[in-house]
Amino acid sequence: MAKIDMNVIMQLRDRTGVGMMDCKKALEEAEGDIEKAVELLRKKGAAVALKRADKATSEGLVHAYIHPGARVGVLVEINCETDFVANTADIKQFASDVCLHIAAMKPLYLVPEDVDPKFLEHEKDILREQLANSGKPEKILAQIIDGKVQKLYSDICLLKQAFVKNDQLTVDDVLKELIAKTGENIKIRRFARYEIGA
């Protein structure tokens, strides 16, 4: 097995925030390919998140952000398993980034399950009307509507939105990476966004 250069390990660590040994192992598995290593670490993060999903999250923090000009403010509650993790720089940075994201991207809901069924039905009705005279078969229309609903979720649900600081990832991807890094279950429990005149 080829020796992995320390600079490459450091690069991967800077990109992912994952520990040195995990970065080294991922690079060895990916035969030195940094992009493959990032993907491996991301999959590992998703696996850790899945394993930790049933762990109680009774600790955490509430973070507040007021946008310059004091016309937009955001509150977010992040929950985790221990107060130790709640007080780490990683969690505080994540909370700060999520607040910035909410201020900029204006999500209406946390997850698709939270979307108001009346609102969703209204949106589907509009889509059906738009497609009514398209001449496409019913099965195709259902697939188109489903695709447009998924797109709607990625616009209005926080965890489905492309992350404001890296649009290659969703907020949920960033959360899973943090879960992998801390080894704890972490949840965005709720948020509120205030805007003058909105």
pLDDT tens digits, residue range 121-177? 999 888 888 887 777 788 888 888 899 999 999 999 999 999 999 999 999 999 998
- The band of 71, judged by pLDDT with boundaries at 50, 70 and 90, is very high
Say whether pLDDT at 68 is over 60: yes
pLDDT at 98: 97
Stated as kind and residue range, the H or E segment containing 12 is helix 6-16
Say whether pLDDT at 75 is over 70: yes
Cα separations in angstroms, 109 against 19, 70, 80, 191: 33, 23, 20, 9
- The band of 76, judged by pLDDT with boundaries at 50, 70 and 90, is very high
- Give the whole-angstrom CA distance, residue 27 versus residue 8: 8
pTM: 0.71
